[in-house]
Chain A
Amino acid sequence: MNKIIIIGILTVNIILQTTVLNFVSISSASLNTSLLLIVAISVYLEPKESFLYALYTGLLLDTVTGVFIGLNTFIFLLVAYGISIIQEEMVKESYLTPLVLGMVSIVLYNFLSLFFVYLMGYTVRLAHYFSFNTLIEIAYNSVFMLLIYTLFSKFYNRRIKEVKY
């Protein structure tokens, strides 16, 4: 049941991210809620489960919006794997955790996207990605990460309680 709900959340999120959320971009900095959700999921769920969600979300997002398939899948899987390694050492209750994870994951996402877009032979303008706009994007996504992380932790804790009783 949990799995179906999470798959549903991830699917609805992709639809919202590619439609409605385009209207709430600050400057041209947009929200990458799929990545933020994968981060939250990877912190709380079992590694194998979070890899599957990362794979599903990445493939779906690549298919729906990507110019080529595999970019989001690669990054989401890598993020999920990275978090799974440090999962046990994390202080999940701290507000710093989602903030730092949000920032690092967005920076990693931008860096790897830039790398692969360049590697696949597309034109990239480096100057833009080291601009003020990138800082806005990191800050915007990090703040949103707090919200998503808090909501997901509440959802996760409620589910755990339901399973216990």
Chain B
Amino acid sequence: MTAMSKSLINRKTATIITILLILAVIFMGITSGEREKVSVIERWIGNVITPIQRAVMTPIHGIQDRVYDIANFAQLNQQNQELEQSLIEKEQELIEARLSESELEELRGLQESLNFVSAADHGEPVSARIISKSHADWFNVFTINAGENHGIVQDGVVLSEKGLVGRVIEVGDNWARVMSISDSNSSVSFKVLRDANVEGIVQGSVTDSLEGYLFDPRMEIEIGDQLVTSGQGIFPEGVLIGEVTEIGKSSEQLLDAVKVEPAVDFQKINRVLVLDMEEDG
């Protein structure tokens, strides 16, 4: 091959690659941000891949469950479970005791599932398992094994037995993608359980902890305060978010910044519950 023909081929290849790279950037622009629906191709690929991911994860979940069981047995599992149950009940009692009477009216019947969310505000809760996670830590996104066919909708609220997990961002036929509240692009408005007048907003960070600030800097917040959702936005009121671990001034030195340890351990979470908050029960 002559040097000239080689150079022509190289130039042609470079042109094709450049076009493909530009197309990739255009695709990024089109598909970034909130989308009402995933494309047919994405849906189709998801429908093919997710059953395989589910099959791969089934034995892993099985092993995880067994290991968990054995570990707990060694540490007096029964006693642990009772204590955990008692703690959840106490926390719930605390929530009910501290919320105002009118709020309690709205939150009647919270005993369903996590005992946090009013049954009248949502459709049938759908339980699901996590079948895959995003490999990179740009986003805290994971895929669950339930989708449109199971009643999952976009912006569905995702909970675990410990508290708030996140929201549904994409829905396929038998799968859905969930953005956790620990993602940098998630934000949740909260109120302090001890004093419902203390409100603010927390956002995900690159670590699994949450960071936020109070709306009113004159309000007081303490380390150890438990935060629950305030009901503004898509998340229902009264769901446990986490516990305050650090308090400081935000970069503007005007607002009280808080660091929050989420109630949910995002590294260990396997099972979730999804609620459609738009459907009237």
- Chain A residues packing against B (C-beta within 8 Å): 14-23, 28, 30-32, 34, 47-48, 51, 55, 58, 60, 63-71, 73-74, 77-78, 81, 84, 113-114, 116-117, 119-125, 127-129
Q: Is the CB of A73 within 8 A of B17?
A: no
Instruction: Identify which of A31, A47, A64 contacts B13 (C-beta below 8 A).
Output: A47
A31 and B141 CA atoms in complex are apart in Å by 16
Write the nearest CB–CB distance from B271 to chain A, whole angstroms: 16
A113 and B226 CA atoms in complex are apart in Å by 35
Instruction: Identify which of A19, A30, A60, A68 contacts B136 (C-beta below 8 A).
Output: A30
B133 close to A (CB within 8 Å): yes
Asked, given contacts A23-B60, A65-B141, whether A73 binds B41 with beta carbons under 8 Å apart, the answer is no
B57 close to A (CB within 8 Å): yes
Asked, given contacts A63-B41, A65-B132, whether A125 binds B205 with beta carbons under 8 Å apart, the answer is yes
Q: Is the CB of A70 within 8 A of B25?
A: yes
A14 and B6 CA atoms in complex are apart in Å by 35
A70 and B138 CA atoms in complex are apart in Å by 14
CB-based nearest B residue for A137 = B137
A34 and B60 CA atoms in complex are apart in Å by 21
Write the nearest CB–CB distance from B233 to chain A, whole angstroms: 17
- The 5 A-B residue pairs whose C-beta atoms are closest, nearest first, are A128-B206, A70-B27, A70-B28, A74-B24, A120-B32
Instruction: Identify which of B21, B30, B135, B206 contacts A65 (C-beta below 8 A).
Output: B135
Q: Name the A residues within 8 Å of B169 (CB-CB).
A: 67
A16 and B49 CA atoms in complex are apart in Å by 11
Instruction: Identify which of A47, A48, A55, A121 contacts B20 (C-beta below 8 A).
Output: A55
Q: Name the A residues within 8 Å of B24 (CB-CB).
A: 58, 70-71, 73-74, 77
A10 and B131 CA atoms in complex are apart in Å by 19
Q: Is the CB of B60 within 8 A of A63?
A: no
Write the nearest CB–CB distance from B176 to chain A, whole angstroms: 13
CB-based nearest B residue for A117 = B138
B250 close to A (CB within 8 Å): no
A99 and B60 CA atoms in complex are apart in Å by 31
- Chain B residues packing against A (C-beta within 8 Å): 13-14, 16-17, 20-21, 23-33, 41-42, 45-46, 49, 52-53, 56-57, 60, 131-139, 141, 143, 169, 177, 179, 184-185, 203, 205-207
Asked, given contacts A68-B31, A69-B28, whether A19 binds B135 with beta carbons under 8 Å apart, the answer is no
A135 and B78 CA atoms in complex are apart in Å by 42
CB-based nearest A residue for B10 = A85
Write the nearest CB–CB distance from B193 to chain A, whole angstroms: 27
Q: Is the CB of A51 within 8 A of B17?
A: yes
Q: Is the CB of B49 within 8 A of A15?
A: yes
Q: Name the B residues within 8 Å of A65 (CB-CB).
A: 132-135, 141, 143
Q: Name the A residues within 8 Å of B184 (CB-CB).
A: 122-125
Asked, given contacts A15-B49, A69-B31, A77-B21, whether A20 binds B56 with beta carbons under 8 Å apart, the answer is yes
Q: Name the A residues within 8 Å of B32 (CB-CB).
A: 67-68, 120-122
A129 and B138 CA atoms in complex are apart in Å by 10
Q: Name the B residues within 8 Å of A113 (CB-CB).
A: 136, 138
Asked, given contacts A63-B42, A71-B28, A120-B28, whether A15 binds B17 with beta carbons under 8 Å apart, the answer is no
